[in-house]
Amino acid sequence: MNRIRVFAPATVANVACGFDSLGFAIHQPGDIVEAELNDEKGVRITGITGDGGRLPRDADKNTAGVAVLALLEHLGESRGVDILLHKHMPLGSGLGSSAASSVAALYAANQLLGGPLKKEEMLPFAMKAEASACGSPHADNVAPALLGGFVLIRSYEPLDVISIDYPENLFCTILHPHIEVRTEDSRRILRKHIKLADAVIQWSNLAGLIAGLAKSDFDLISRSLNDIIFEPVRSLLIPGFDRVKGSAIASGALGCSISGSGPSVFALSTSMEKAREVGLAMKQAFSELQLESDIYVSPVNSIGPRILQPDENPVEPLF
């Protein structure tokens, strides 16, 4: 095999109370990489579709390229990889767009090379790519994009990444507003110091969320899905956030918060039907402000990246 086509999924980082520590993967949207192994050392980005010409074509500046270059260097490879990247998710959306690209490229390259590394061993290369994209090597998008499911980053130094059990019937609704927020900007506005009393509430909620997920205790998940530190600041960048969140909760979602650094908003529900209902209500609330959005609805993605069949293409937003 010297050609492969791989899909890697969008991710919801932070999950309300787990800033830079918790994330999970969904099934849609996501990016696709077509990769080809060749005898010429290094990485070549042969093309990018779906980015409106905005992403760098130089391999050492592009997240997919940075990740695969680091992998090849680690392996001491004399061969090289050509990458054709198809962006099927918006840039600056808070859905882990750069992570989906780097993880798809890494997984594809590793497969072409005969699978020398396990998925978790590729994580540092994806984190390097993340740092090149937004100046911060946070792993709460790349780890779930690579490993699937819910992933806790217990420690960055040394890296300690834990897959968390979660209930089977947990479904995610994403509202992606048609605005862009750069992760770099959304991090810059955060306060550098927080009150001890707020920290206690936040880490208690994170512990409650992890326990609720592991025990399939939906009431506990619901009570714990709160972010009292970052959401109040970042939601100022998302017009209509309070209305959208209110509509999600009123429609029966377990909870609702900002996905990653925004502007996308996520909600969790206990059935696909409920997640669709919640999505409809969120879109309605947003459109009352004359604002456009896309809705994605998905179970939690337990797999992460996967090889695509030749005729398989990603689905469009639900509505």
How far is C-alpha 5 from the geometric centre of its chain's CA atoms? 20
What gap in Å lies between CA 123 and CA 20, rounded to an integer?
15
Q: Which candidate in 63, 183, 231, 277 is catalytic?
A: 183
Please tell me the chain's helix, strand, coil percentages from 3-state DSSP, rounded to the nearest 5.
35, 25, 40
Q: Is 102 in the site for ligand HSE (CB under 6 A)?
A: no
What gap in Å lies between CA 305 and CA 146, rounded to an integer?
6
Pick the closer one to ligand HSE by CB: 261 or 298.
Answer: 261
130 belongs to the catalytic site: yes
Phi and psi at residue 45, in whole multiples of 5°? -90, 105
The piece of 66-74, 119-127, 134-142, 168-176 that touches ligand HSE (CB under 6 A) is: 134-142
Q: Which of 27, 86, 138, 245 binds ligand HSE (CB under 6 A)?
A: 138
What gap in Å lies between CA 57 and CA 110, rounded to an integer?
21
63 belongs to the catalytic site: no
Pick the closer one to ligand HSE by CB: 183 or 235.
Answer: 183
**Structure-token match 């992998």, residue found:** 71
Phi and psi at residue 256, in whole multiples of 5°? -155, 140
Q: Which candidate in 34, 63, 130, 277 is catalytic?
A: 130
Nearest residue to ligand HSE, scored by beta-carbon proximity:
260
| DSSP per position, 178-189 | S----HHHHHHT
Q: Is 51 in the site for ligand HSE (CB under 6 A)?
A: no
Least distance CB 274 / ligand HSE (angstroms): 26
Q: Is 226 in the site for ligand HSE (CB under 6 A)?
A: no
Q: Is 141 in the site for ligand HSE (CB under 6 A)?
A: yes
What gap in Å lies between CA 258 and CA 120, rounded to an integer?
26
Contacts of ligand HSE in 249-288 (CB under 6 A): 260-261
Residues 6+ apart with CB under 8 A from 28: 9, 10, 296, 298, 314, 315, 317
Is 104 in a helix, a strand, or coil?
helix
Contacts of ligand HSE in 150-179 (CB under 6 A): none
Q: Which of 13, 32, 248, 295 binds ligand HSE (CB under 6 A)?
A: 13
Q: Is 20 in the site for ligand HSE (CB under 6 A)?
A: yes
Q: Which residues are catalytic?
A: 130, 183
Binding site for ligand HSE (CB under 6 A): 13-14, 19-20, 94, 96, 138, 140-141, 183, 187, 260-261
